[in-house]
A and B are shown apart, each in its own frame.
Chain A
Amino acid sequence: MEQTLWPGVALHVVSGKGGTGKTTVAAALAMALARDGRRTLLMEVEGRQGISQVFDVPPLPYGERKVAVAPGGGEVWALAVDPEDALLDYLEIFYNLRRAGSALRRMGAVDFATTIAPGLRDVLLTGKACEVVRRSEKNAPDAYDAVVLDAPPTGRITRFLNVNSEVSGLAKVGPIRNHADLVMSVIASPRTAVHLVTLLEEMPVQETIDAVTELHDAELPVGGIFVNMTRNPVLSDEELELAVAGDLPADRIEAALRSVDFNAKSSAITATLIREGDDHARRVALERRESERLADLDVPVLSLPYLSDGIDLASLYELAELLRSQGVR
């Protein structure tokens, strides 16, 4: 029996450097966790409408919508959180102030309030995620089995999640402070896991390593590292060594090409194949170096392949299945 990663985690926060495919991985994770009749919510907070593009559905309103069914009868729901709406929610839930809130929005005051206190915006967004997570404790009918948050990029993730320190400079006491404490009681607990998406390239790996350190320092729970767009080496280890050394046997390659009737072009093709083999070998060597640096972190590492045809709904099912085979369930 394979192990199950992150048992008991209700909030999965997914971050990653720009261009690493963080939204795709978050979507695949929400799909994997929705198997066997479960219900998951995928949330985005950056106003990019990335979820609607991945699932190929119209732009999401501020409201929970079903976006896909998972194999085995599960459901993936999605929500695009907007800070203004989250503030109105907050006013309603805690102060019963929705009508005043609407008046404030008309005056542009909501935008003002989220601008005036930089931490406020983040507290509202993480607060919304925590509100959804807490539904399951109350056995609410609209509860989810897991929430996946497509969070801001790696460079900003610790600050985004560490709302406590963000508001501490602004509000030492008072309601926003209490709200921040409530949010931290979910985010800094074993019910949360912060995942980092990376590619096997120097910059994203370095950012991932830095983020793991920062998260540890802030006592936030690190979940796993998702290495995205991996490619298996086409050449054997021996051949890779030859390629790196510039020793791929041109004569044998050319002879093989002639044997399949590339007579006229065979030397040009040989030169191209050798150059590409060399390129490939350098790339594989780099990926292996970066892979080792990640392994040193002592955090579970999962990998997802590069899909040369791009990402569509069908490929999300494929990625979700691969995550399940690596212990996500």
Chain B
Amino acid sequence: MQAPPLHIDDLIDDRDVSIVVCTGAGGVGKTTTAAALALRAAERGRDVCVLTIDPARRLAQAMGLTELDNNPRAVPGIGGGGSLHAMMLDMKRTFDEVVEAHADPVRAQQILSNPFYEALSSSFAGTQEYMAMEKLGQLHADEDAPWDLIIVDTPPSRSALDFLDAPARLGSFLDGRFIRILTAPARGAGRGLGRIAAAGFGIFTGVLSKILGAQVLADVGTFVAAIDTTFGGFRERADATFALLQEPSTRFLVVATPEGDALREASYFVERLQQEGMPLGGLVVNRVQDVDRELLSADTALASAEKLSLEGEDADLTARLLTLHAGRLRTRERQHHLTERFTGAHPEVATTEVAALPEDVHDLAGLREVGELLARGESV
């Protein structure tokens, strides 16, 4: 079964598209895809901002990002009529800025120095996803910004779905029932909850103190009280960005490699996007073995290699090159088979395949090459 081709250029040229989200399992090349796409869009005339989460050092350098400063920087050396800004997300800095923007200086200081805030802002499992969403919301809301297209890379989560789920989880955690109770221990047990819940709550705080210690609970209480009185619900903020991702001006690109795990993850994500009514742009399959499948079959190549190797020294090189060719065909066949399984389950998803490059991308020229491959919109 053949998937419809994904036309990347149509997508990035479409002025109605203002957000592109690149998502997928860890290690599939999301960041490189996002950067290559951003460069291509800029050189085709769009004003682009690319938000990367955790780029490899040399990729960051390729875009002129030498330090993590949490602000978009203009990337020099862009051809065509557009412009490109790039930034790396600093999740703690983003969180701090949210606090500073919404609280008076005294209270902001209280929040920032709370030990629980320290832990939450630097190591809570969902904070990176939440802050990526927060930053995306900010970049999109910035009226004076020079960009009209934002391309986002997503955090290297356990699962691609975390990007959608973690913000709501953190939001509901901070707005949640238990935390409300903790911030008002005196009234929590008495009113509204009823006797059974109150009894349960007694066990709850008892066990929590046992496990965590009373000091941790006190820190959490102080933190939530401080943050609650200064700005509105976290959940609302997460919901607003979630809604932004459902708008028709957003496109998701699901990134995978032609391996079982990565394609399975891509499958889950495609299903989830459909369920949430989020617009799917298509599937990008990276690192596909580049080989001409029409020229010479693996069997013929191997048979000829065998014949040649009997002829002695002079033909050995050709025999080895034919063996190499056969190996590439075999790998390609396996990859094709795995990708076909995805297409069988999701025949409507437009797909583009990107050939594996022999070396990593280090500079804008390398990113341009990846952009070129992305835009071919067909099987390798």
Quick one: which of B247-266 are within 8 Å of A by CB? 257, 259-262
Contacts A117-B119, A159-B123; is A100 near B207 (CB within 8 Å)?
A: yes
How does the 8 Å CB contact mask read for A14-52 relative to B, with 1 for contact and 0 for none? 000111100000000000000000000000001110100
B212 touches A259 (CB 8 A): no
Q: Smallest distance from the beta carbon of B222 to chain A beta carbons, Å?
A: 13
Interface string of B20-49 (1 = CB under 8 A from A): 000001111000000000000000000000
Chain A residues within an 8 Å CB radius of B311: 256, 259
Cβ of A201 within 8 Å of any chain B Cβ, yes or no, is yes
Q: Is the CB of A171 within 8 A of B292?
A: no
A91's partner among B207, B213, B315 (CB-CB below 8 A) is B207
Asked whether B320 lies within 8 Å of A234 as measured between CB atoms, the reply is: yes
Question: Within the complex, which residue of B54, B156, B260, B319 is in contact with A310, where a contact is CB–CB below 8 Å?
Answer: B260
Binary contact track A206-219/B, C-beta < 8 Å → 1, others 0? 10000000000000
Stretch at the interface among B9-17, B275-283, B324-332: B324-332
**Are A280 and B324 closer than 8 Å at their CB atoms?**
yes
- Tell me how many residues of A have a C-beta within 8 Å of chain B: 76
Q: Is the CB of A155 within 8 A of B291?
A: no
Q: Is A118 an interface residue (CB 8 A)?
A: yes
B104 interface residue per 8 A CB criterion: no
Instruction: Tell me if A239 and B317 are in contact (CB < 8 A).
Output: yes
Chain A residues within 8 Å of B58, by CB: 202
Interface set, chain B 168-193, CB cutoff 8 A to A: 169, 173, 176, 178
User: In the bound complex, do residue A257 and residue B27 qualify as a contact, i.e. CB atoms below 8 Å apart?
Assistant: no
Cβ of A109 within 8 Å of any chain B Cβ, yes or no, is yes
- Residues in B with CB closer than 8 Å to A279 are 290, 358
Chain B residues closer than 8 Å to A203, beta-carbon distance = 56, 360
In the assembled complex, which residues on chain A have CB atoms less than 8 Å from the CB atom of B220?
A: 116
- B292 contacts across to A, CB distance below 8 A: 272
A176 CB within 8 Å of chain B:
yes
Q: Contacts A113-B212, A170-B119; is A48 near B159 (CB within 8 Å)?
A: yes
Q: Report chain A residues within 8 Å CB of B143.
A: none
Closest to B317 in A: A239
Q: Which residues of A from 83 to 136 have beta carbons under 8 Å from B? A: 91, 95, 97, 100-101, 103-104, 107-109, 112-113, 115-121
Point out the residues of chain A lying under 8 angstroms from B330, CB to CB.
Answer: 308
When each residue 187-223 of chain A gets 1 if its CB lies under 8 Å from chain B and 0 otherwise, what string results?
Answer: 0000000000000011110100000000000000000
B260: chain A residues within 8 A (beta carbon): 53, 310
Given the known interface contacts A171-B216, A259-B311, the answer about A153 and B210 at a Cβ–Cβ threshold of 8 Å is: no
Q: Is A286 an interface residue (CB 8 A)?
A: yes
Q: Are A112 and B173 in contact (CB under 8 A)?
A: yes
Q: Are A276 and B119 closer than 8 Å at their CB atoms? A: no
Interface of B: prevailing SS = helix
By the criterion CB–CB under 8 Å, are B208 and A113 in contact?
Answer: yes
Contacts of A174 in B (CB 8 A): 212-213
Q: Is B240 an interface residue (CB 8 A)?
A: no
Looking at the assembled complex, report how far the CB atom of A242 sits from the nearest CB atom of chain B, in whole angstroms: 9
CA distance A308 to B289 in the complex (A): 12
- Contact yes or no, A308 B119, CB < 8 A: no
Report yes or no: A173 in contact with B213, Cβ–Cβ below 8 A. Answer: yes
Cα separation A48 to B162 with both chains bound (whole Å): 12
Contact A109 B307 (CB under 8 A): no
What 1/0 flags go to B311-345 for Cβ under 8 Å of A? 10011011111111101101100100000000000
B200-256, CB < 8 A from A: 200, 203-204, 207-208, 210-213, 215-216, 220
19 further A-B pairs in the complex, CB-CB below 8 A; given A19-B257, A282-B359: A48-B159, A108-B178, A113-B211, A116-B212, A119-B119, A119-B123, A153-B26, A169-B119, A171-B212, A171-B213, A201-B360, A234-B324, A239-B320, A252-B314, A269-B295, A273-B318, A276-B324, A283-B358, A286-B358
Q: List 24 A-B contacts (CB under 8 A).
A: A19-B28, A46-B158, A48-B159, A100-B207, A101-B207, A118-B123, A152-B158, A155-B156, A170-B213, A172-B213, A174-B212, A174-B213, A201-B360, A236-B320, A253-B321, A256-B308, A260-B304, A260-B307, A265-B296, A268-B295, A273-B322, A280-B324, A282-B359, A308-B330
